[in-house]
Amino acid sequence: MAYRIKVNSRGEPIDEAQLLSGMERAVFFVQEHRQPILVGALVVVLVMAAVLGMVLYDRHQADQALHLTLQATRLYVDRPGEKLAKADDNLAKAIGLYRQVIEQYPRTPAAQLALYHLGNALVQGNDLDGAVDAYRKHATNYGANKMLLGLVYQRLAYAYLLKGNREEGAKAFAAVLEVPGALNKDQALFELGKLEEAQSRPEGALARYQDLAKSYPNSPFASEAAVRIKALEVKSLPESGPPGAKAPASPAK
């Protein structure tokens, strides 16, 4: 059986592009569009270089902020009690470094810790207004860190109490109870109970202590709360004595 070669009956010319391989077509495409491809590649390289530069810059900023924060913390801790002048000088230097981190590197992770420690250092320096401002700023800017937020509210409460403001102190302690995952809710309840006692509100104090004993039985504050509960319950008894006790007989006339 003979085979016949099929030819183009219409006599149409064969497109040379059909005879080229995929690689060859790619080479021709690049040659034809060389300039826009080079421009596009240059743009990609510049964008990658910019991103890398930003990453390296942020890393450098974070390292600098951490270095200053650690330096400040060493000064804050190194305050010898027998050398008051040196202790005061170290505290002042620590406060200055904490402020530097907060002002120059606000977007770094170290800035969050620096602001918290700044509040603590200002309390030690008896700058209670500055401490309150630092704690409130921390709660506003870094409230997403719930575990640290509980400590911030606790420190804020103590700062208010040192200022003699019991009302704001109680609000700050109560804010601890609203923070999910806070690890110091037992202490906040205990302090709220003490504040209720100090303001001659035994019912409110008893409620706080009972909540503490029930919700956190293993807390180191639970035993003290139990003692205070018993004391408050005894005070709440009528003067005639515990229930069921007979009143003393009146003397015969």
Mean of pLDDT values over 149-166: 97
* Residue of 88 and 240 predicted with greater confidence: 88
pLDDT tens-place string over residues 90-107: 999 999 999 999 999 998
Reading the block at residue 128, the tokens are 């209670």
Domain boundaries, given as residue ranges, for the chain: 184-237
Identify the band that residue 10 occupies on the pLDDT scale cut at 50, 70 and 90: low
- Which pLDDT score, from 0 to 100, does residue 79 have? 81
pTM for this entry: 0.72
The predicted model gives 189-206 an average pLDDT of 96
Give pLDDT, residue 253. Answer: 43
Q: How long, in residues, is the chain? A: 253
**pLDDT of res. 28:** 63
Percent of the chain with pLDDT over 70: 71
- Whether pLDDT at 224 is above 80: yes
